[in-house]
Structure 1
Amino acid sequence: MLPTLRSLPDPAALAPYLRDRYGIDFTGCTLLRSLVNDVYEVTTADARYILKLYRYGGRHLDGIRWETGLSAHLIANGLSAPAIRPLPDGDPVGLLDAPEGPRPFVLQEFVDGTKPPYAEELYRDFGVLVAQFHEMADSYVSEFPRRTADLSHSLDELRPQLAPAEENLLQDLADAVRNNLAQYSAERGICHGDVTLDNLLVAGNCLTLYDFDLAGADYRAADFHRRRVHAVLARPQGRLQHPPPDHGGGRGRHPLPRRRRADLQPPVPPGRQTADPRHRVPHRRLGGPRTDCPSAGGRRASLTRQ
Structure 2
Amino acid sequence: MTTVMELVAENYPVEPSGATLVRSFNNDVYRIDTDDDAYVLKVYGSGRLDADEVRWEQRLARELLNAGIPVAADVTTNTGDFVGIVEAPEGPRTFALTQWVPGSKPQPPWSDALYRSVGATLARLHAAADSFDSIYPRRTVRRGDEPERVIAVLDEGSSQRQLVQRTAATARAELGQLAKQGLRWGIRHGDASLDNIHVDEDGTVYFYDFDLAGPGWQIEDLAGAMSTEFAGPFLEGYVDERPLTEVDLTALPWLRILGHIDNLKFHLIDKPVAMGSSTLTEGWVDRGFEGLADAARDAGC
TM-score w.r.t. length of structure 2: 0.71
How far apart, CA to CA, are the structure 1 residues paired with 2:232 and 2:57? 22
Q: Aligned in 2, Cα 1:227/1:96: closer, same or farther, shift over 3 Å?
A: farther
Is this contact kept in 1: 2:141–2:214, CA < 8 A? yes
Q: Aligned in 2, Cα 1:143/1:164: closer, same or farther, shift over 3 Å?
A: farther
How far apart, CA to CA, are the structure 2 residues paired with 1:198 and 1:45? 27
Higher helix share: 2
How far apart, CA to CA, are the structure 2 residues paired with 1:67 and 1:16? 24
Q: How does 1:50-89 map to 2 (within 5 A)?
A: 50-89=40-79
Is this contact kept in 2: 1:126–1:245, CA < 8 A? no
Q: How does 1:56-205 map to 2 (within 5 A)?
A: 56-117=46-107, 118-150=110-142, 152=144, 154-155=146-147, 170=164, 172-181=166-175, 182-183=177-178, 184-203=181-200, 204-205=202-203
> Aligned partner of 2:102: which letter?
D
How far apart, CA to CA, are the structure 1 residues paired with 2:132 and 2:7? 33
Q: Aligned in 2, Cα 1:226/1:168: closer, same or farther, shift over 3 Å?
A: same
> Aligned partner of 2:139: which letter?
R
Structure-1 residue corresponding to 2:237: 249
Aligned-residue offset at 1:164: 6.5
Secondary structure of the structure 2 residue equivalent to 1:124: helix
Q: Aligned in 2, Cα 1:122/1:34: closer, same or farther, shift over 3 Å?
A: same
> Aligned partner of 1:194: which letter?
D
Aligned counterpart for 1:217 among listed residues 215, 218, 224: 215
Q: Aligned in 2, Cα 1:254/1:37: closer, same or farther, shift over 3 Å?
A: same
Q: Aligned in 2, Cα 1:260/1:67: closer, same or farther, shift over 3 Å?
A: closer
Q: Aligned in 2, Cα 1:18/1:120: closer, same or farther, shift over 3 Å?
A: same
Q: How many residues align?
A: 251
Q: Which of 1 and 2 has higher RCO (CA within 8 Å, sep 6+)? A: 1
Q: What are the Cα deviations for residues 91-137 of structure 1, in whole angstroms up to 9, with x where unaligned?
A: 11111222222211111112221122411121122111111111000
Aligned-residue offset at 1:21: 2.2
Aligned-residue offset at 1:159: 6.6
Aligned counterpart for 1:22 among listed residues 7, 12, 15: 12
Is this contact kept in 2: 1:224–1:244, CA < 8 A? no
Q: Aligned in 2, Cα 1:243/1:201: closer, same or farther, shift over 3 Å?
A: farther
Is this contact kept in 1: 2:65–2:73, CA < 8 A? yes
Deviates more, 1:89-98 or 1:42-51: 42-51
How far apart, CA to CA, are the structure 2 residues paired with 1:106 and 1:33? 15
Is this contact kept in 1: 2:115–2:230, CA < 8 A? no
Q: Aligned in 2, Cα 1:67/1:74: closer, same or farther, shift over 3 Å?
A: same
Is this contact kept in 2: 1:196–1:227, CA < 8 A? yes
Aligned-residue offset at 1:248: 3.0
Aligned-residue offset at 1:55: 1.3
Aligned-residue offset at 1:144: 0.8
Q: Aligned in 2, Cα 1:92/1:129: closer, same or farther, shift over 3 Å?
A: same
Is this contact kept in 2: 1:32–1:41, CA < 8 A? yes
How far apart, CA to CA, are the structure 2 residues paired with 1:19 and 1:260? 46
> Aligned partner of 2:111: which letter?
A
> Aligned partner of 2:131: which letter?
S
Deviates more, 1:24-33 or 1:82-91: 24-33
Structure-2 residue corresponding to 1:301: none
Q: Aligned in 2, Cα 1:162/1:88: closer, same or farther, shift over 3 Å?
A: farther
Aligned-residue offset at 1:62: 1.4
> Aligned partner of 1:102: which letter?
P
Deviates more, 1:52-61 or 1:41-50: 41-50
Aligned-residue offset at 1:47: 2.2
Q: Aligned in 2, Cα 1:92/1:242: closer, same or farther, shift over 3 Å?
A: farther
> Aligned partner of 1:130: which letter?
L
How far apart, CA to CA, are the structure 2 residues paired with 1:245 and 1:198? 19
